Amino acid sequence: MALIKKTVSAPPEEHRHSARDLSGLLEQLRSDKPDIRRWAALDLSEHSEAAEILCRCLEEEQNMAVRDALFTSLIRINNNAAVKGLIPLLKSEDAALRNGVIEALRQMPDALAPYMQDMLHDPDSDVRIFTVNVLESLCHPMTPEWLLGVIEEDTHINVCATAVDLLAEVGSPEMIASIDALPGRFANDPFLRFAADIAIRRIRGANPN
């Protein structure tokens, strides 16, 4: 879902007569017309102070076009408030919303980085798995180290299995010992042994020297 790359046409003529300042756009976010809410959400990308409100709107918005517009503006704003507002939504029961949050956070590597350790140590194992999923396409130099920490410290097998799968793509030779030791932390689970062996082979194949 390449939210920020969408081409957005000009708003309908009637929308140009609506107030486009911050207070006017926030008022339009409460409209019962999805098209008005969508254009308000898109135009709020110019107002970084609206990030918290945009995140709150995501929890209630059911129209997918409006929801995409909210995500698009949050990605463009890309600040601390946007990340802080999105992270709690990883606990949502709405799978489509969670997936949108994961995709949005992947596009905010620098703003997200200060929160990564807390997210990887969340008491909820599902949140930790979703956080590892964020790392899948997160262009940040610390991604391999964060994943290494997961397989060395996390006590949930599914979290570690998700992390070792990603380390097969981004891991380095010095991480092989930790990957090899992972199955032993879970009574030599056969699936983890299989996943660890694949990761090790791929890392060695990508680093023949």
What is the C-alpha separation between 70 and 56, in angstroms, rounded? Answer: 10
Which tens digits make up the pLDDT trace of 56-84?
999 999 999 999 999 999 999 999 999 99
**Is 1-107 in CATH node 3.40.50.300?**
no
Select from 35, 47, 127 the least CA-distant residue to 81: 47
Which tens digits make up the pLDDT trace of 171-182?
999 999 999 999
pTM of the full structure:
0.88
Rounded to whole angstroms, what are the CA distances from 175 to 9, 146, 155, 171, 204? 48, 12, 19, 6, 11
The answer for 122, left when phi > 0, alpha when psi is -120 to 50, beta otherwise, is beta
Q: What are the residue ranges spanned by the domains of the chain?
A: 1-107, 120-209
